[in-house]
Structure 1
């Protein structure tokens, strides 16, 4: 029989305690497992690599090799993979790009022949040969993003439905970035750029490109649904929120999964919408906010943010699903048939007790939308997580990046611990 179980403020339905099975299988040289990890029903895992320098986002090339952005070195590492029994291991492991090429973002073009990386200032493009691992000279295609302070990630995503497009997300300068009420500031925003134009002449982030969505505080994961072509993002919302002088930050605001439509849809009604930040944030625990009629995901105005007219928050776009406060989703990837999206929750730094530090699944229906309603608190299905979080954030599994290969294996990076895991059964 099923039972509702509480995971850090989130109710999820699990069938029995056997849904979580501690299991470990490691590739040679990866050492003993340091963390007590547990799995959702039907999954198993192995450790592929350890000792990396803050691995973040990842990509799998057309030959099945794994490419990893190492934020700690600004480098890209290439793992040539081979099956060893019922797990996958690295046949070789080499650095293919250096020189502070990336601090987070990495993605391949739709044809797999161009590799893109991002750092604070630029998005770079490299000719890439998947068979040999040869990488050409890097070329800046988007520039003008460097600032002092603020969120450092510059998430990059390409489109198989619109192959000349690259999406670049840029977060806020601070917790409450008041100037972002002006779209021209070009922060807390997702913009699309023409790859071919950028290869001819570098494009300026603020001046060029098109706005896909704005009013999103810190977008760290963006992906495309492989079946319908819809663009989805996961966002880290505001910290230290108060309302009417009362501290409500422990359980508000919600983190957010947002839908941005299909890039090549000329009538995309989601294109260019404002999602509220910095003036309006989504509720996770409406009762704690204390506003009558507020639901999960409803936008409200906290203390200390730029003023908006009464009722204006209700006119801004909100997310398609919402997640517990401060769980910090850093990446999202769909399985090949679009029936599920997997999300890496990096974990909280300012919540008591700590929450996050897990990979979860959101199920999607035949219409290309989540099966759960906007107000759901049970949309997440447990996949892979720490069994206890007393040592988090610094001494635990802390997922940052996700990547599927052609065999349906899900690669997960843990940046704090420097590990790469593989989940089977996703």
Structure 2
């Protein structure tokens, strides 16, 4: 009995050790030591990358990484190495093609990348990594102000569709009250039509949702076809001259229905920006009856008399935590969200990967919940952020259920096991 108890204690300690200690592949040195949630462990797959942003796993199990600064796309061929996964090769397969977004067609034979101005399609061979000549399929997306990322997502349920998100032209982009501005929205485009004649973002495609300040992550629930987005909300918020920006507004997880649903009641809805923002700390806002996620009108925005009639999110998150990607596990029981972290609040917040549990295609938690996020991977010292910590950006699952995470500022790729 005593020996069994001792062994159980050793195994428990070993499991705890694995959960908090990041292993690295040979020749790879991780810069930071993540703190892992219960049941998870982590390894460092790659380092020394240039601003790795969104990522995707191809049909042969290789990891494709969009690097920032118009660097291009990198292909990591993966192999198991004991109880972690490592890269047997790491090569650049595209140059100067992207600053953020990357996706693959449903059949895995077309690679899409995005940058400030356009979305480009390439033929792609997963077995060799060979990439064909690029063809722009969506153009006319340049902004003169901020928010250069263009999140993109393809659909298993509607294989000829690519979703493209375009953010606002600044913190408060007043012209986006008009849908024809072509900003602060998600649009759906036909891939096949774009291959013939490129879509112009402002005039082409269909509006899936608008009034969304800056969507940086998009995904499709693999089991229901439902489309979800994560949004970065407004900075430096004031109400009646009072600074309320530290804990407001909320970042937002929004549902947009299924692309193959001809009666999709969410299609084309407006989510309030720039006139209406969602509350995270209603008490700090000080409006009677306001709940988490309720929309209200702050200072400095266009007039809005109908915030109550605008669509709001399905879940909400801490202010300024900057969610940049969302991905579902294979059975859609959980969505994982990468929070890049705040610059607009003190103390810092974010800099973590969190889980939201789902059931029957929707989050388990209520829309007003403040505890829907379950810790998966966090920085051990958030006080060192943003300059001396990892900052999650892109997420991708492989067929073995391993979750890959990019960190742009540290130039690393992590692998989470147990997701």
Q: Provide the TM-score with structure 1 as the length reference.
A: 0.94
* Structure 2 spans left out of the alignment, 5+ residues: 1-15
Contact map agreement 1:53 1:73 (CA 8 A) in 2? no
Aligned counterpart for 1:182 among listed residues 178, 202, 208: 178
Q: Which residue of 1 aligns with 2:383?
A: 390
Q: 1:154 is matched with which residue?
A: 150
Does 2:51 match 1:51? no
SS state at 1:287 partner:
helix
Q: Where does 1:247-326 land on structure 2 (aligned, <5 Å)? A: 247-309=243-305, 312-326=306-320
Is contact 1:400–1:413 with CA below 8 Å preserved after alignment? Answer: yes
Contact residue 187 and residue 207 of structure 2 kept, 8 A = yes
| Aligned with residue 60 of structure 2, among 44, 60, 63 | 63
The corresponding residue for 1:400 is 393
Q: Of 29, 32, 35, which residue of structure 1 is paired with 2:32?
A: 35
Match of 2:370 in 1: 377
What residue in structure 1 maps to residue 416 of structure 2?
423
Shift in Å at residue 19 of structure 1?
Answer: 11
Q: Please say if residues 22 and 33 of structure 2, whose CA atoms lie closer than 8 Å, have aligned partners that are also in contact.
A: no
The aligned counterpart of 1:220 is: 216
1:29 Cα offset (Å): 1.2
In structure 2, the CA distance between the partners of 1:384 and 1:19, relative to structure 1 (3 Å rule), is: farther
The separation in 1 between residues aligned to 2:114 and 2:263, in whole angstroms, is 30
Deviation at residue 353 of structure 1 after TM alignment:
0.4
RMSD over aligned Cα atoms: 1.0
Q: More helix by proportion, 1 or 2?
A: 2
Which residues of 2 match residues 318-337 of structure 1 at below 5 A?
A: 318-337=312-331
Contact 1:143 1:203 in 2 (8 A): yes
For 2:194, what is the secondary structure of its paired residue?
helix
Contact 2:19 2:42 in 1 (8 A): no
Distance (Å, rounded) in 1 between the aligned partners of 2:374 and 2:239: 31
Distance 2:33 2:109 in 1: 39
Give aligned pairs, total.
404
Are the aligned partners of 2:21 and 2:33 in contact in 1 as well (CA < 8 Å)?
Answer: no
Contact 1:19-1:40 at 8 Å conserved across structures: no
User: Is it true that 1:414 corresponds to 2:411 in the alignment?
Assistant: no
Distance in 2 of aligned mates of 1:308 and 1:67: 43
d(CA) in 2 for partners of 1:331 and 1:375?
21
d(CA) in 2 for partners of 1:162, 1:260: 14
Higher mean alpha-carbon deviation, 389-398 vs 199-208, is at 389-398
User: Does the CA-based 8 Å contact 1:233-1:257 persist in structure 2?
Assistant: yes
* Other-structure match for 2:82: 85
Whether 2:229 is the aligned partner of 1:229: answer no
Note the alpha carbon deviations across 1:21-79, whole angstroms, 9 max, x for none: 42121001112x33231100000010000000000000100000000000034310000
- Note the 1:83-232 alignment, pairs <5 A: 83-98=80-95, 100-232=96-228
The CA deviation at 1:351 is 0.6
Contact 1:20 1:38 survives alignment (8 Å): no
Shift of 1:350: 1.4
Give CA-to-partner distance per residue, 1:115-152, whole Å, 9 cap, x none.
00001111000000000100000000000111222200
- Cα distance between partner residues in 2 of 1:94 and 1:316: 46
> How many angstroms apart in 1 are the aligned matches of 2:372 and 2:82?
34
Q: What displacement does 1:265 show?
A: 0.4
1:325 and 1:225 map into 2 onto residues whose CA distance is: 25
Contact 2:330 2:401 in 1 (8 A): yes
The two structures have a TM-score, normalised by structure 2, of: 0.95
* CA–CA distance in structure 2, aligned partners of residues 392 and 82 of structure 1: 32
Counterparts of 1:247 and 1:101, CA distance in 2: 40
TM-aligned CA distance change 1:353 to 1:19, over 3 Å = farther
Shift of 1:423: 0.2
Given that residues 168 and 190 in structure 1 are in contact (C-alpha distance below 8 angstroms), is that contact kept between their aligned partners in structure 2? yes
Aligned position for 2:336 = 342
Cα distance in 2 between the residues matched to 1:344 and 1:232: 14
